[in-house]
Chain A
Amino acid sequence: VEKLELDPLIKHPLQNRWCLWFFKNDKSKDWADNLRQITSFDTVEDFWAVYNHIQSAGKLASGCDYNLFKDDIKPMWEDERNKTGGRWLASFDKRGGKGIDVDKLWLETVLCLIGEGFDEESDVVNGCVVNVRGKGNKLSVWIGDYKRDEVVLKIGRRFKERLGLPPRFQIAFEAHQDTIVKRGSSAKSRFTI
């Protein structure tokens, strides 16, 4: 069985087609112009071909992001499927993020999404983002509906578990509509776990 699964002629289909986007912060351009689609894939083999071809997240310049979203969803609040959504956010500031391997955590996040690791809740998961910032990297999982508390919490617990974060490290859930109207640098958290 194992041998058959590794047959190089058979590609393993994913449940969803995923699109990888790259954001580079160029202040002379509009936000949306800095966001570019790289490619999409819908098999395990094609995912690795993409992953091994691109710069690893940890080597990106500060201000860059990778966004991995289901193919029909744009990585922005304005998209119909994100409008009433939110994100689970893991922020690694300089102090708390010491020794954190952003490449490893980003890969774990991506594998969890493309492998439908959120079980029945996977349908509510729209995508994931890594923000590379000098003051501290951020990882997030975007969810399509912030009002379904139980679903939101299940996804958050799984995300934290898959990242292997210690119990005292908290991740926070923010509704996009709160992020849009935020004052200062952080939006109100609806949950922390």
Chain B
Amino acid sequence: GKKQYDRTFLLQFQPDCT
């Protein structure tokens, strides 16, 4: 199937930039 990711899922991989 299509590899679909919602924004919440994608955002959890954002490295912490603080």
Contacts and interface: CB of A to CB of B under 8 A. Distances in A.
Interface of A: 6, 12-15, 44-45, 47-48, 51-52, 108, 111-112, 114-117, 119, 122, 162
Given A108-B7, A111-B7, A15 B13 contact: no
Nearest to B1: A15
Given A52-B15, A52-B17, A15 B3 contact: yes
B6 A12 contact: no
7 contacts: A6-B12, A12-B13, A15-B4, A44-B5, A47-B10, A108-B7, A117-B6
Contacts of A116: 2-5
A155 B6 CA distance: 16
Contacts of A115: 4-7, 9-10
Contacts of B17: 52
In terms of DSSP, what is the predominant structure of the interface of chain A?
A: helix
Interface residues of B, number: 14
Contacts of B2: 15, 116, 122
B1 to A, nearest CB: 9
Contacts of A47: 10
A115 B5 CA distance: 4
